[in-house]
Amino acid sequence: MTSPSSSRPGLWRWALVIAPVLLVLLIIAYVAGWLSPHRLTPDRFINQFQTNGGVHPGLRRNHAKGVCVAGYFQGNDQASVLSRAALFADVRTPVVGRFSLPGPNPLTPDGSTPVRAMALRFALANGQQWRTAMLNAPVFSVNTPQAFYQNLVAHAPDAHTGKPDKAKIAAFNAAHPEMAPFMAWAKATVPSASFATQNYGGLDAFYVTNARGQRHAVRWRFVPQAKATDPTGKPDANALDADLMQRLANGPLRWQLVFTVAQAGDPTAQAATAWPADRKQITAGTLVLTRASGQAEGPCRDINYDPTILPDGMSLTDDPLPPARSAAYADSFRRRTAEEAHLPGYPAAKETH
């Protein structure tokens, strides 16, 4: 260091200038996943949905077929022992929701699957929100994002036949015994001709914290008050929307929100496994849906039903699915809004659907 600055700098000095820059570049590349082509990223998740179901610009990459609903949630203060979230007091909270079918195809016939979904966004008076996206199944199909992704890959259309390879699906199912409860339900369930009669569960486990700071693990379900008058035959391709409009024309539709409280040892990270049936249940209030509208113009179109958006008094557990859903939904939302905005590099969304 004693050499005068006018002398030619040694190579090692240049190395000390360049090496830190390259090191930071390398760290950036690692963190961004550029060095790990097999890392499961939101991008790869959504690409797989597109591989399986095609690109439908402007629409959600999963649960593409749906309808908007709106109404309110009337809390009854009984769940305040569980959670200090403001909506569980004796108050009315506005709700914008969405009923949907699973899968990336917006033209899925209603009779092709027994799965129906209900997503809700509660806008609390204090500015906080609760968003949840639920299924009418008793449990989720798998426990982990990796298994969910592999299931998508197993269902990808074969390059030659254009249809999923049954051998791959069978191999996936055999390797995932956790699927058994969901598969048993799916096999035994006749596709419903009404969204209104279905019992929707959050399936994932979340923590709720009350005003005294006490925390419990819970799951929740929205239990329908509408009578199940399901016919035994398969519903028509678009029977669900027609049924919803007709029922709402006759009056609001109601569900009771029921929390199931875990006991010590109940798994919080296994959404494919039901908790024992004798767990304590608390009814938190009533969801009242009063109107519906098409998803192209309805208020649910621009909502990402990210299940990790929770009010104060609710939080994530070690369940690995909600963070994965949050990450994947965000990428789906990024893509479909870019398509709607006609950003360069994205297929343009159709004006109506």
Partner 1 sequence: MRHSDRSTFHPLARLLHWLMAAAIIAMLLIGLGMVASVSARHDWLLAIHKPLGIAILLLAITRLVVRRRHPPPPLPADLPRLQAWAAHASHWLLYALMLAMPLIGWAMLSAGGYPVTLGAGLQLPAIAPTNTTLFAVLRAAHSVLAYALALTFLAHMGAALYHGLIRRDGVLASMIGVRRKTSASN
Cβ-based neighbours of 20, under 8 Å, separated by 6 or more = none
Which of residues 256 and 315 has its CB atom nearest to partner 1 in the complex?
Answer: 315
* DSSP track, 192-207: PS-STT--EE--S-EE
Rounded to the nearest whole angstrom, what is the least distance from the CB of residue 42 to partner 1 in the complex?
A: 6
Phi and psi, residue 339, nearest 5°: -65, -45
Rule CB under 8 A: is residue 74 a binding residue for partner 1? no
Q: Which of residues 82-111 bind partner 1 (CB under 8 A)?
A: none
Rule CB under 8 A: is residue 18 a binding residue for partner 1? yes
How far is residue 277's CA from residue 258's CA, in Å, rounded to a whole number?
A: 13
Length of the chain: 353
Two structure tokens written together for 75: 């809390």
Rounded to the nearest whole angstrom, what is the least distance from the CB of residue 62 to partner 1 in the complex?
A: 14
**Among residues 2, 5, 161, 232, which is the contact residue for partner 1, using CB under 8 A?**
5
* DSSP track, 305-331: --TT---TTEEE-S-SHHHHHHHHHHH
Of the candidate spans 30-38, 72-80, 103-111, 221-229, the one that interacts with partner 1 by CB under 8 A turns out to be 30-38
Nearest to 135 by CA among 147, 119, 151: 119
How far is residue 218's CA from residue 281's CA, in Å, rounded to a whole number?
A: 9
Of the candidate spans 105-113, 153-161, 227-235, 338-346, the one that interacts with partner 1 by CB under 8 A turns out to be 338-346
Rule CB under 8 A: is residue 209 a binding residue for partner 1? no
Rule CB under 8 A: is residue 350 a binding residue for partner 1? no
The residues that are catalytic are 63
Nearest to 220 by CA among 321, 303, 142, 134: 134
**Among residues 26, 39, 57, 151, which is the contact residue for partner 1, using CB under 8 A?**
39
Q: Long-range contacts: 244-249, Cβ < 8 Å, 24+?
A: 244/67, 244/69, 244/99, 244/194, 244/195, 244/196, 244/292, 245/292, 247/194, 247/196, 248/69, 248/289, 248/290, 248/291, 248/292
Q: Which of residues 292-331 bind partner 1 (CB under 8 A)?
A: 301-304, 308-309, 312, 316, 318, 320, 322-324, 326-328, 330-331
Of the candidate spans 60-68, 243-251, 274-282, 339-347, the one that interacts with partner 1 by CB under 8 A turns out to be 339-347
Rule CB under 8 A: is residue 25 a binding residue for partner 1? yes
Using DSSP, state whether 129 is helix, strand or coil.
strand
Cα dist. 136→108, 197, 230 in Å?
A: 17, 10, 14
**Count of residues touching partner 1 (by CB under 8 A):** 52
Amino acid (one-letter) located at 230: D
Of the candidate spans 13-21, 156-164, 208-216, 219-227, the one that interacts with partner 1 by CB under 8 A turns out to be 13-21
**Among residues 169, 170, 237, 343, which is the contact residue for partner 1, using CB under 8 A?**
343
**Among residues 31, 167, 175, 245, which is the contact residue for partner 1, using CB under 8 A?**
31
Rounded to the nearest whole angstrom, what is the least distance from the CB of residue 41 to partner 1 in the complex?
A: 5
Q: Give first-to-last CA distance, the chain, whole Å.
A: 71
Q: Which of residues 134-153 bind partner 1 (CB under 8 A)?
A: 145
**Among residues 76, 112, 129, 173, which is the contact residue for partner 1, using CB under 8 A?**
129
Which of residues 112 and 128 has its CB atom nearest to partner 1 in the complex?
Answer: 128
Rounded to the nearest whole angstrom, what is the least distance from the CB of residue 149 to partner 1 in the complex?
A: 8
How far is residue 262's CA from residue 241's CA, in Å, rounded to a whole number?
A: 35
Residues that bind partner 1 (CB under 8 A): 5, 9, 13-14, 16-18, 20-21, 24-25, 27-28, 31-33, 39-43, 45, 126-129, 145, 301-304, 308-309, 312, 316, 318, 320, 322-324, 326-328, 330-331, 333-334, 337-338, 340-341, 343
